[in-house]
Amino acid sequence: MLAALLLAGPLAPARAQDGGPGNPQDARPKGLVLLRQRQVAGGIQALGIYDIQADPQQPGLWRVKLWDELPNALVVRGESIRCSPAEPMRVTSDGSRFFLRALNPGGQINPSNRLDHLVWWATCFPEQAGKDPATLGPLARRLGYSGNLQESEQVLPRSR
């Protein structure tokens, strides 16, 4: 299953724009769902997802693009999300490493896992996109997620 997650699609960040002319907001793709906006030095950071695609080979596995927009830069990353109640997971990358994050929908939300859960909920249950994941515990349990899974992170080097 690990190999399937890593091979599910390109996970390397792509710099769509870096300090070039224009405003990154002008490049926003159709279908972008904003998950978080916050004030940063020089303006607003906006994070969102788009291009949500079911993996044809792995039921319950989805490929998405994460849009990370800063006032003067834009990074787009391909990610894989597993929605199964038994093993919910987010796989992302920073370009040199893969991060495999086992999640616990319905469990404790804190600053270190909030983005993981925002992306997971928006992918697996799009009608919950942008909602505070800390408020979605009762819904997660109704959907079959125990809220008692162990969250963890594996960091793997990206092969060249």
pLDDT for 129-140, tens place per residue?
A: 999 999 999 999
Q: For residue 86, what pLDDT is reported?
A: 96
Question: Into how many domains does the chain fold?
Answer: 1
Q: For residue 7, what pLDDT is reported?
A: 45
What is the signed CA dihedral for 23, 29, 33, 34, rounded to 10 degrees?
-10
Question: Is 62 strand, coil or helix?
Answer: strand
Which residue matches tokens 């990358």? 93
Residue ranges making up the domain that contains 140: 2-157
Using 50, 70 and 90 to split pLDDT, how confident is the model at 93?
very high
Q: Is the separation of the CB atoms in 121 and 129 below 8 Å?
A: yes
Mean pLDDT of 82-102: 96
Is the confidence at residue 111, as pLDDT, over 50? yes
User: Which comes out higher in pLDDT, residue 27 or 21?
Assistant: 27
Q: Is the separation of the CB atoms in 120 and 88 below 8 Å?
A: yes
Using 50, 70 and 90 to split pLDDT, how confident is the model at 17?
very low
Which residue matches tokens 């408020």? 135
Mean pLDDT of 68-88: 94
Cα-Cα-Cα-Cα dihedral sign, residues 138, 144, 146, 149: negative
Please state, as a whole number, how many other Cβ atoms lie within 10 Å of the Cβ of residue 36. Answer: 13
* E strand or H helix that includes residue 137: helix 137-142
Using 50, 70 and 90 to split pLDDT, how confident is the model at 3?
very low
